[in-house]
Structure formats: structure tokens, C-alpha cells
A = this chain, B = another copy of it.
Amino acid sequence: MQNKINAIRSFNRRYTNILGLLDKDILDSDYSLSQVRVLHEIDKLEQCTSKYLSDTLCMDSGYLSRMLAGFEKSGLCIKQKSSEDGRIYNLSLTNKGKKTMEVLNLRSNEQIFSLINPLCETERSNLVKAMTTIESILTQGKNVKLDDIRIRHNIKPGDIGYITYMHGWIYRMEYGYSTAFESYVAQTFCEFLSNYKAGYDRLWIGEHNEKIVGSIGIVGHKDKAQLRWFLLDPNYRGIGLGKKLLQTAVNFSKETNYKSIYLDTTSDLDKALGMYQKMGFTKVFEKENHSWKDDLLELRLSMDL
């Protein structure tokens, strides 16, 4: 634990410096960092109040009041007394305010550009993935919407390994599975890729800012489609991504004229089980399997298409 705390503190110190450097530039403009943060919030929200700002940005309300008065005086912002509650003033940017934000955004974009410009494409991507990971963990997946997730089905270098890795840590964390399970997953991917037939086999990958957060696949066996590798990063559950992936795979199976679709799963994956059943899958048989964990029932579910 102490090692982790030290690593986090080290990161925080470094990142404080980086943010400081980025903020320095903003200060070249006529606005201070706090002012820009406030303007950004007003711009983002339709219904913004002073209370909201002081809460989310942790600013003194008196300080804010004066700042907002300043914005109003310089024509960036207008205050409108709420019709429902006379204590509240709704804040919004004027056209001038919006233009100002555009300029500030442009400058900020340029800044970030020059930060990541020296990096190669892979590094940039890894950087953004890591940031996305941090955000998703610290916000526990809130603030992510289904539309933010892109689903693709071209397989790129790194995908297979990363999805195997996800199977490893997620099944370990949630169900206590051993390395043997991950090895089994790797095996299934080896088979998948060596027998891969475009148009009949497919792997879908759900990505948030290029970071893989979910997967599902279809493997053809004559007229039957096998559903595999259905997995969601725990911080991306509850937004409908699982349903969307499942639907995508089922739709593909229908379009490809498979007669039925089946999948093997285990008794402890109750959440996924419910999703399968809702989609129309029914149990075909069950048997015991102790490869990855004790007391495990292996189930086969199937659905006619």
C-alpha cells in the first residue's frame, strides 16, 4: 500500500508541475486560471449557478461573486434571476463570452498539441489510454456515456493480448479464477486467428478513447455461431454497453444466416447470465468444470435465429 501511495504522490507532484506549465500559458491571456475554469463551467452547463461553481470548483462564494460581476461588466456573461427561486441567478455566456472561450480553447488545444507532438503515435495513444483509465477509476465509470464508446471489428496489433489480459485480471478479481483460465483464453484466440474466416468469424472491440473496455466475438461452426469473449471493464458497466455488444453479435449472426447461436459460460457469471436470458438464450445442458476454480458449473446456452 505504501508503495502505491508513494507512486501516486510522485505522479501528483509531476503532474502538478505539468499542469502548472500549461496554466502559465493561459495566464498570458487576459484571464487567470480560476477565471478560465469558471468560464469553462458556465460554457459547459446550460443551467449554471454560483452555488454550483463554488461547489464543483471549490471556490469561495464571495470571490466568485466578484468574479462573476466582473464577467458581467466586461460583457462575457449574463445573470438572470430564476423564476422559480428568487435567490438563484442562472448564468450563461454572451456571444462575446463564447467567442472568448473559443479563443481560449484554441490556445489550450495548441498547448496540448505541443505537449504530445514530440511523442510518437503509439505513445500518444498509450498516454490517452492511461488518462482514460485514471478518470474511469476515480469517477467509478460515472460521466461515461454509451455514445463515447466506439465499437469496431478490425483486429489491430495489441488487441488480442490486451483482451486476454482483461480476461485474466477481471475474472481473477471478480471470480477468483487462476492463470489457467487466461491461458485457456489465449488458446481460444490462437484457434480463432488460425481458423479465421472473414465474414463468418468476428471480434468486436469496445473502445473509450482508444482504450479497450469491452469485447465480444462470434466463431462459426458450420451453421452454428458460437458466442465468445463477452467481457466488460467493471467501470464501464451499467451504461448499456453489454447489451449493445450482445445485440451486435446476435445481429451479425442473423445476417450471416447462422441457424442458431450458442455460448458456454459458468454458473457464477450471474449478471451475464441474466443478460443472455433477456436476449432469448435458454439453457441446453450443464456440467462440472474445476479447471479454473472449485465448484464451478459449466453451462451451455443456445438460441435459434
Using CB atoms and an 8 Å cutoff, list the residues of chain A in contact with chain B.
Answer: 1-5, 7-22, 24, 37, 40, 56-58, 108-109, 112-113, 115-116, 119-135, 137-139, 155-169, 171-173, 177-183, 185-187, 189-190, 193-194, 209-210, 235
Contact = CB atoms under 8 A, between A and B. Distances in A.
Which among A122, A134, A156, A162 has the greatest number of chain B C-beta atoms within 10 A?
Answer: A134
B161 A165 contact: yes
Given A58-B20, A164-B161, A164-B164, A119 B135 contact: no
Contacts of A210: 4
7 contacts: A5-B116, A8-B112, A8-B128, A11-B131, A160-B168, A164-B164, A183-B190
A177 B157 contact: yes
A128 B7 contact: yes
A263 to B, nearest CB: 21
A157 B164 CA distance: 10
Contact of A161 (B13, B113, B119, B168): B168
Nearest to A139: B14
A124 B189 contact: no
Interface of A is mostly: helix
A165 B37 CA distance: 38
A204 to B, nearest CB: 15
Contacts of A16: 19, 37
A183 B160 contact: yes
Contacts of A155: 179
A4 B169 contact: no
A167 B3 CA distance: 27
Nearest to A22: B12
Contacts of A11: 131-132, 134-135
Given A130-B133, A161-B163, A186-B190, 8 more contacts: A15-B15, A121-B173, A127-B133, A130-B130, A134-B134, A159-B179, A164-B186, A186-B193
Contacts of A127: 4, 8, 133-134, 137-138
B157 A168 contact: yes
Nearest to A196: B183
Q: Which of A7, A57, A133, A162 has the most CB of B within 10 A?
A: A7
A168 B125 CA distance: 14
Contacts of A164: 160-161, 164-165, 186
Contacts of A185: 161
A58 B187 contact: no
A186 B193 CA distance: 10
Nearest to A14: B135
A20 B55 CA distance: 12
